[in-house]
């Protein structure tokens, strides 16, 4: 099956053909860096990471840009709150974002433009739009896009314009001709330090939509193959990018394929800060590893909403633990050292005729990236691998044949093989801090901050063991209670030793 993708622009599934054979220009709207990245970001960038990997698997030369929006009202407001220069705030959260992306094992994009480096390109584009009569200046020096001047405005959102007008939430910006018109440039007063000069006189800041059009134009030229983002960006952000770029270059479509990933809900409700069900990537990674989060997200098709809840995450974790174990056993059987697993050669598309599981993986991924079916192929491969090892471990060629297929699918879906040999149950940071406090209360001594949490736990268990030996039941019970309070259950064994588990 040829590679097919669901295109929001046409509303249907289409065979994928890049504008220039063999080469792909792909752009993903990146984060606005004013806070920690959340699970909506995780879903978005994991989805498009999987697409990027699959395009590379198919043999395309891919230029993949994922921008950083480093100037925006949200950033300026936050910087104001924290009394910090906005550039420093943006640099700090860009670094945090990079850390998260690395923990999630996403490949770095080939280009990562920062909006503030493209202000001159934005001004160039705005001037072209003013000259063409598509944009107009208001009395205060702001510049707006005249949506009435573009006959097909609304073609991505596909709703009647009257409904769009309601969607657009009429803002009380003075001088706008229509509620649908949007700011390309927002003027500021002359002494605002966070603003840029313009040829039309009034300094100001760019509108968010214009940032993406300008970065695309400078990096890729007039047209790109794939533009992606979360479904919440279809309107107005992507609609407005199309309007700006097509009017600027007179070339349509600006992007041939528009792809959108679905929302992340938390126990049935849309995730939002105000609902208090907002979860950052860092928080989730304290309890689950990057592979677990990736498995949880990919087991749902990218266009469908996913529902985040602990049961689903625990299910994904159990599945991942089993996969990691199967890989460990296969490594033992084949005599592969854990350190080389991440450099282990994986199969390419040329190998599909000899590797039926890989061929099946390709087929499902070619059908609008059906990761749920691709994952079930991975599960079947691992099941066959386990059975072969259990029944016929001497047949090393067969074990290797299945293992390399499973590992290849695992890698093309972006799972991190370095985590296969990582600790299965890392303790959350607050638990480690609490353990250190308990140790201090018991002994009056502080432990070195780089002490391994498992060692601290062992030392506390030893203290309790000593209390039991001298029949100081009061202290032994007090330690047990402390541990229960921080989510660690102690289980006394018949031989006098004590096991623990996280609850
Ligand atoms: Zn964008």
Q: Model confidence over 112-130: pLDDT tens digits? A: 999 999 999 999 999 999 9
With 70 as the cut, is the pLDDT of residue 450 above it?
no
Query: What is the predicted pLDDT for the residue at 425?
Result: 60
DSSP letter at 300?
S
With 80 as the cut, is the pLDDT of residue 451 above it?
no
Cα of 460 vs centre of ligand 1, distance in Å, is 52
Burial 437-456 (b: 16+ CB within 10 A, else e): ebbeebeeeeeeeeeebeeb
Q: Let me know if domain 288-421 sits in CATH 1.10.10.
A: no
Cα of 73 vs centre of ligand 1, distance in Å, is 15
Q: Supply the mean pLDDT for the chain.
A: 91
Q: Judge contact between 397 and 42, C-beta under 8 A.
A: no
Structure tokens at 57: 């698997």
Query: What is the predicted pLDDT for the residue at 496?
Result: 75
What does the domain layout of the chain look like in residue ranges? 4-270, 288-421, 429-502
- DSSP alpha helices (H): ranges in 337-472? 356-366, 371-392, 396-412, 429-443, 453-469
Cα of 265 vs centre of ligand 1, distance in Å, is 22
Cα of 344 vs centre of ligand 1, distance in Å, is 36
Q: What is the CA radius of gyration of the chain?
A: 27
Cα of 296 vs centre of ligand 1, distance in Å, is 26
Cα of 467 vs centre of ligand 1, distance in Å, is 62
Cα of 267 vs centre of ligand 1, distance in Å, is 28
With 90 as the cut, is the pLDDT of residue 270 above it?
no
Cα of 212 vs centre of ligand 1, distance in Å, is 5
Q: Residue 431: pLDDT band by 50, 70, 90 thresholds?
A: confident
Cα of 71 vs centre of ligand 1, distance in Å, is 13
Cα of 25 vs centre of ligand 1, distance in Å, is 15
With 80 as the cut, is the pLDDT of residue 274 above it?
no
Give the C-alpha separation, 197 to 297, whole Å: 44
Span 442-448, mean pLDDT? 81
Q: Judge contact between 296 and 375, C-beta under 8 A.
A: no
Please state whether 201 falls in left (phi above 0), alpha (psi between -120 and 50) or beta. Answer: left
Give the C-alpha separation, 208 to 91, whole Å: 18
Cα of 139 vs centre of ligand 1, distance in Å, is 28
Single out the residue of 90, 110, 108 nearest to residue 100, CA to CA: 108
With 70 as the cut, is the pLDDT of residue 424 above it?
no
Q: Which range (17-26, 151-160, 309-318) has the least confidence?
A: 309-318
Structure tokens at 427: 């303790």
Single out the residue of 100, 123, 270 nearest to residue 196, CA to CA: 123
Helix then strand then coil, in percent of the chain rounded to 5, is: 50, 15, 35
Cα of 20 vs centre of ligand 1, distance in Å, is 23
Cα of 431 vs centre of ligand 1, distance in Å, is 39
Q: Model confidence over 457-483: pLDDT tens digits? A: 888 888 898 898 899 999 999 999 999
Cα of 237 vs centre of ligand 1, distance in Å, is 6
Q: Do domains 4-270 and 288-421 have the same CATH topology?
A: no
- 429-443 helix and 473-485 helix, angle to the nearest 10 degrees: 160
- CA angle 137/141/142 to nearest 5° reads 65
Cα of 291 vs centre of ligand 1, distance in Å, is 27
DSSP letter at 24?
E
Cα of 216 vs centre of ligand 1, distance in Å, is 9
Q: Which range (17-21, 296-300, 343-347, 447-451) has the least confidence?
A: 447-451
CATH classification (class only), 4-270: alpha beta
Cα of 18 vs centre of ligand 1, distance in Å, is 21
Cα of 229 vs centre of ligand 1, distance in Å, is 8
Cα of 352 vs centre of ligand 1, distance in Å, is 36
Span 184-203, mean pLDDT? 90
Cα of 28 vs centre of ligand 1, distance in Å, is 7
Cα of 301 vs centre of ligand 1, distance in Å, is 23
């Amino acid at each position: 099956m040829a590679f097919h993708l669901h295109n929001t622009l046409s509303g249907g599934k289409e065979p994928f053909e890049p504008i220039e054979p063999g080469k792909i220009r792909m752009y993903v709207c990146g984060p606005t860096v004013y806070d920690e990245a959340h699970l909506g970001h995780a879903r978005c960038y994991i989805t498009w990471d999987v697409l990027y990997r699959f395009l590379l698997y198919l043999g395309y030369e891919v230029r993949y840009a994922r921008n950083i929006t480093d100037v925006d009202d949200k950033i300026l407001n936050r910087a104001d709150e924290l009394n910090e220069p906005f550039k420093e705030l943006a640099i700090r959260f860009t670094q945090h974002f990079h850390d998260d992306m690395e923990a999630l094992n996403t490949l770095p994009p080939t280009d990562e433009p920062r909006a503030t480096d493209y202000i001159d390109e934005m001004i160039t584009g705005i001037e072209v739009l003013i000259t063409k009569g598509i944009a107009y200046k208001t009395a205060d020096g702001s510049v707006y896009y005249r949506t009435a001047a573009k006959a097909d405005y609304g073609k991505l959102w596909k709703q009647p314009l009257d409904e769009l007008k309601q969607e657009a939430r009429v803002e009380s910006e003075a001088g706008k001709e229509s509620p649908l018109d949007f700011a390309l440039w927002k003027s500021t007063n002359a002494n605002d330090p966070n603003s840029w000069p313009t040829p039309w006189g009034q300094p100001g800041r760019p509108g968010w939509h214009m940032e993406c059009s300008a970065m695309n134009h400078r990096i890729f030229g007039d047209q790109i193959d794939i533009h992606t983002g979360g479904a919440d960006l279809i309107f107005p952000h992507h609609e407005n990018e199309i309007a700006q770029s097509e009017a600027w270059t007179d070339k349509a479509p600006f992007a041939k394929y528009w792809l959108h990933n679905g929302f992340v809900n938390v126990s049935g409700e849309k995730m939002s800060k105000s609902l208090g069900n907002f979860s950052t990537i860092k928080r989730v990674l304290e309890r689950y590893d990057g592979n677990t989060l990736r498995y949880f997200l990919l087991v749902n098709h990218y266009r469908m909403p996913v529902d985040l809840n602990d049961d689903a995450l625990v299910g994904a974790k159990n599945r991942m633990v089993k996969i990691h174990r199967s890989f460990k056993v296969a490594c033992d059987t084949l005599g592969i050292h854990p350190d080389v697993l991440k450099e282990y050669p994986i199969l390419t598309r040329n190998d599909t005729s000899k590797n039926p599981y890989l061929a099946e993986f390709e087929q499902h991924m070619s059908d609008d990236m059906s990761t749920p079916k691709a994952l079930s192929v991975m599960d079947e491969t691992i099941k066959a691998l386990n059975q072969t090892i259990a029944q016929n471990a001497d047949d090393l060629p067969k074990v290797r044949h299945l293992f390399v297929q499973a590992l290849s699918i695992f890698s093309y879906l972006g799972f991190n093989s370095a985590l296969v040999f990582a600790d299965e149950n890392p303790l959350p940071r607050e638990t480690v801090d609490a353990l250190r406090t308990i140790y201090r209360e018991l002994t009056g001594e502080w432990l070195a901050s780089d002490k391994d949490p498992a060692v601290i736990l062992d030392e506390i268990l030893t203290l309790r063991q000593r209390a039991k030996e001298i029949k100081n039941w009061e202290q032994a019970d007090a330690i047990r209670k402390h541990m229960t309070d921080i989510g660690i259950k102690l289980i006394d064994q018949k031989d006098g030793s004590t096991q623990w588990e996280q609850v």
